[in-house]
Amino acid sequence: MRVIVIGAGVVGASIAYRLAQGGAAVSVLERGRVGGGTSGSSFAWTNSNNKTPRAYHDLNVAGMRAHAALRDEFGATPWWHGGGSIEWESAADHAAHREKVERLRAWGYRTEWITPRDLATLEPDLDLRAVGEAPIAYYPDEGWLDPVPYAHAMLSAARGHGARLTCGLAVTEMVSRAGRITGVRTDDGALHEADMVVNCAGRWADRLGPDPRLPLAPTIGFLVFTPPAASSLSRVIRNPVCHLRPDGAGRLLLHRDETDALLAEPRDPGPDSPEARDLVARATRLLPGIGPVTAEATRVAIRPIPRDGLSAIGRMPGVTGSYAAVTHSGVTLSPFLGIAVADEILNDIERPELAPFRPARLLN
Ligand SMILES: Cc1cc2nc3c(=O)[nH]c(=O)nc-3n(C[C@H](O)[C@H](O)[C@H](O)COP(=O)(O)OP(=O)(O)OC[C@H]3O[C@@H](n4cnc5c(N)ncnc54)[C@H](O)[C@@H]3O)c2cc1C
């Protein structure tokens, strides 16, 4: 089977790998560079921490397990960092936090309440005054990903099975004949024929056919990167001051939902902006030892969110030969999606895990 995968983010790379491994002749067409879309500007926390409904929670757990399983397959997964995550909430949200933890436990998700002393052992550089009296949750199976090295590793493995990757080539349209997608046209005018086209174009997926287009409800995300800073932080920390995690060589990655909400348009305000300075000041409250430090870089990205907030994974209705894989939580989900989507395309079966997330539900 000849398959074209549009997009070399974490999702396209994972699907390309499993399709090629399964024997398909895979061609990945990427407009820019590997991981240069949303994947390269993601907080990239692998989790199923607050995903509802249950089917979406289970899908994310499958993603977490698939990340862990890659260790056996590849021998080492230098792109994935485990060690769990730590979370506390402001006083107004303590009851909701307890409720969430109880729900996660009832769903079999590993969660522990830890003491400030435990926290000091796990993350000695955190200033416990920022935690106050808040209950502290620890999620041992969570972690984070380096999305670009991950996508590169999956594409390298795909190439080992004969896949071809072309960067700097944009798909301009899907080509159809008699109700069947027969390939794509690219911006150099070339026609690329295929038996199946998989749309992994993320937040740009709605710009490609077939009609009707997938309805997306994207949101803006703003990330701040510090220079290498004097901290031993080794986990994802989520809390009311600001979310943070390591980002290699001592750098910290900072994020706050409330700051995202301040950005009315997807324009990067830059490291000298009040938004970036505020996030760094907040990180310094949590980790006083890093100060004084200023933001080194900022990134703005758009989350590829299907209209109802869940994933859109499956064959596009009304035509044959067209499959879409578009989702927020793509960092968490991608290794599982690779396996499940390849299974559906190559073996013509319906994976029950994907049944609630078909694109058709969004197109009525
Ligand atoms: C601030 C922020 C924080 C996030 N935090 C998390 C998190 O903690 N955990 C989590 O799991 N997820 C998180 N996400 C979401 C996650 O990053 C995305 O779901 C994931 O990166 C999507 O990957 P993708 O491969 O589908 O898309 P992308 O990485 O955007 O890849 C799509 C690719 O398609 C290419 N493309 C587009 N159009 C064309 C075309 N016409 N022709 C050829 N190529 C094309 C693009 O160039 C791009 O490289 C976050 C997102 C943001 C913005």
> What digits encode the pLDDT tens for the residues 195-215?
999 999 999 999 997 888 999
Mean pLDDT confidence for 150-157: 98
- Tell whether ligand 1 has an atom less than 6 A from the beta carbon of residue 223: yes
For ligand 1, the distance from its centroid to the CA atom of residue 136, given in whole angstroms, is 31
pLDDT at 88: 98
CA dihedral 31, 34, 40, 42 (to 10 degrees): 90
User: What is the position in ligand 1's atom list of the atom closest to the CA of 12?
Assistant: 25
Q: Please report, as a single letter, which amino acid is at residue 81.
A: H
pLDDT at 142: 98
Among the residue ranges 139-143, 168-172, 206-210, 287-291, the one predicted with the least confidence is 206-210
Best mutation site among 34, 42, 268, 341 for ligand 1 pocket (most ligand atoms within 8 Å of CB):
42
Cβ-Cβ contacts under 8 Å for 327 (sequence gap 6 or more) = 11, 304, 306, 310, 311, 312, 313, 333, 337, 357
Q: Where are the domains of the chain?
A: 2-63+147-214+306-362, 85-140+219-303
- Tell whether ligand 1 has an atom less than 6 A from the beta carbon of residue 201: yes
For ligand 1, the distance from its centroid to the CA atom of residue 31, given in whole angstroms, is 13
Asked if domains 2-63+147-214+306-362 and 85-140+219-303 share a fold, the reply is no
- Tell whether ligand 1 has an atom less than 6 A from the beta carbon of residue 27: no
For ligand 1, the distance from its centroid to the CA atom of residue 226, given in whole angstroms, is 22
Please determine, for residue 104, whether its predicted confidence score (pLDDT) is greater than 90: yes
Q: Which CATH superfamily is domain 2-63+147-214+306-362 in?
A: FAD/NAD(P)-binding domain (3.50.50.60)
For ligand 1, the distance from its centroid to the CA atom of residue 234, given in whole angstroms, is 24
pLDDT at 108: 98
Please determine, for residue 265, whether its predicted confidence score (pLDDT) is greater than 90: no
Among the residue ranges 211-215, 229-233, 346-350, the one predicted with the least confidence is 211-215
Closest CA to 200 of 259, 155, 143, 234: 155
**pLDDT tens sequence across 77-88:** 999 999 999 999
Confidence of residue 338 (pLDDT cuts 50, 70, 90): very high
For ligand 1, the distance from its centroid to the CA atom of residue 301, given in whole angstroms, is 8
pLDDT at 192: 98
Confidence of residue 6 (pLDDT cuts 50, 70, 90): very high
pLDDT at 210: 84
What is 106-131 written as a DSSP string? HTT---EEE-HHHHHHH-TTS-GGGT
Average pLDDT, the chain: 97
pLDDT at 209: 79
For ligand 1, the distance from its centroid to the CA atom of residue 5, given in whole angstroms, is 14
Grouping H, G, I as helix, E, B as strand and the rest as coil, residue 310 is: coil
Best mutation site among 39, 79, 184 for ligand 1 pocket (most ligand atoms within 8 Å of CB):
39
Best mutation site among 15, 38, 57, 199 for ligand 1 pocket (most ligand atoms within 8 Å of CB):
38
For ligand 1, the distance from its centroid to the CA atom of residue 286, given in whole angstroms, is 29
**Beta bridge mates, 46:** 143
- Tell whether ligand 1 has an atom less than 6 A from the beta carbon of residue 10: yes
For ligand 1, the distance from its centroid to the CA atom of residue 37, given in whole angstroms, is 5
Mean pLDDT confidence for 225-251: 98
Q: How many CA atoms lie within 13 A of 348 on its CB side?
A: 3
Mean pLDDT confidence for 60-69: 98
Which DSSP symbol is given to 204? G
Please determine, for residue 364, whether its predicted confidence score (pLDDT) is greater than 80: no
pLDDT at 300: 97
Question: Which pairing describes strands 171-177 and 164-167: parallel, antiparallel, or unpaired?
Answer: unpaired
Mean pLDDT confidence for 306-327: 97
> What angle is formed at CA 221 by the lines to CA 46 and CA 323, rounded to 5 degrees?
65
Q: If you classify domain 85-140+219-303 with CATH, what class do you get?
A: alpha beta
User: What is the position in ligand 1's atom list of the atom closest to the CA of 39?
Assistant: 21
Grouping H, G, I as helix, E, B as strand and the rest as coil, residue 21 is: helix
Mean pLDDT confidence for 131-139: 97
Among the residue ranges 107-111, 178-182, 260-264, 271-275, the one predicted with the least confidence is 260-264
Contact status, residue 134 vs residue 88, Cβ threshold 8 Å = yes
- Tell whether ligand 1 has an atom less than 6 A from the beta carbon of residue 29: yes
Mean pLDDT confidence for 252-280: 95
Please determine, for residue 2, whether its predicted confidence score (pLDDT) is greater than 90: yes
pLDDT at 264: 84
Going across the sheet that includes 219-225, the strands are: 112-114, 136-139, 85-87, 236-238, 243-246, 252-255, 219-225, 297-303
Instruction: Spell out the SS3 assignment of 161-181.
Output: CCCEEEECCCEEEEEEECCEE
User: What is the position in ligand 1's atom list of the atom closest to the CA of 11?
Assistant: 25
pLDDT over 70 percentage in the chain: 100
User: What is the position in ligand 1's atom list of the atom closest to the CA of 303?
Assistant: 53
Cβ-Cβ contacts under 8 Å for 24 (sequence gap 6 or more) = 1, 2, 3, 342, 345, 346
- Tell whether ligand 1 has an atom less than 6 A from the beta carbon of residue 306: no
> What distance in Å separates the CA atoms of residue 351 and residue 311, rounded to the nearest whole number?
14
Mean pLDDT confidence for 215-239: 97
pLDDT at 211: 87
For ligand 1, the distance from its centroid to the CA atom of residue 342, given in whole angstroms, is 19
Is residue 342 within a helix (H) or strand (E), and if so which, with residue range?
Answer: helix 330-347
